[in-house]
Amino acid sequence: MGQSHDAGALGVVAYLLQSSKTVGEAMENVRRYHSLISDILKIDIENQSDELKLTFIPNPYGLTNYPFGTRQTVEAAMSFAARAFPHLARTEISLRKVTFSFLPPADLNEYKSAFSTKLFFNQEVNAMIYDATVRMLPIASSNPAVLALFENYANGLIEQLQKRRNVSSKAQVIIMKRIRDKNLNMNVVATELFMSPRTLQRRLDEEETSYQALIDKVRSELAQNYLQEMNLSALDTALLLGFSEPSAFVKSFKRWTGASPSQFKAVHARR
């Protein structure tokens, strides 16, 4: 997916990139308008005197109903970026190195083909590190007038998007941040959303969900991520999700997925 490089899939963001003055400005536009592409990933930029780092941060709640896991999502986005920016600049852009938070695969050939640089696995972040001079590379199709036009359009889309974000999504973010808090309850979530518990319940009813359903959804998605992607034990996962007893976690996990944590890990280890 990542190496197919279909810029048209980025919608209005593709026009922003093509109209940017430099690669650095194009990267900044990706960071600023990534929510118009999808809510699967967040992209950050770190500018230092001698290097530029693009960091790809997966959003667990953007992955809901997405057909791939966290690792595949990150790798596709990074390999897409590795091809997109040289294409925009019409010149070769070498990476200093690429880091992944995941364990190395058995076969590195596809990774070497996609990134053509040093690869480091089991690192703290998923990142692509360039030489700082990449920032100033000109974009071949730069057009300031068109850029301003699409920036206005993109800003309007983001404003509409923010207005449409539902209460359940906002509540999920709060629940995720406080999942280990023993005092977490509907009152806490309602307070952070600046509404009464009764209003929160009514809004969730309107969105055909409930507070308990959101708790289960957050815990289920995080549990599967911890067990599959991070290879944590059931005990560690239970503690991270705020369960007082591992047995309670195992029982809940079976209810969410139809399998025990050990069965789930065994199935995914064979894939």
Q: How many CB atoms lie within 10 A of CB 171?
A: 24
> At how many degrees (to 10) do helices 12-19 and 144-164 cross?
150
pTM of this prediction?
Answer: 0.61
Closest-CA residue to 233 (of 219, 218, 221, 223)? 223
Give CA–CA dist 148/153, Å, rounded: 9
Domain 166-269 carries which CATH code? Answer: 1.10.10.60
Give CA 201 to chain center in angstroms. Answer: 28
Classify residue 193 by burial, with Cβ atoms within 10 Å: 0-12, 13-18, 19+: middle
Kindly report, residue by residue over 54-109, the tens digit of the pLDDT.
999 886 555 444 445 678 888 988 999 999 999 999 999 999 999 999 999 999 99
Domain ranges of the chain: 2-162, 166-269
Closest-CA residue to 253 (of 63, 208, 228)? 228
Lowest mean pLDDT among 81-95, 164-178, 183-197, 222-236: 164-178
Predicted confidence (pLDDT) at residue 207 exceeds the cutoff of 80: yes
Element (DSSP H or E) covering residue 16: helix 12-19
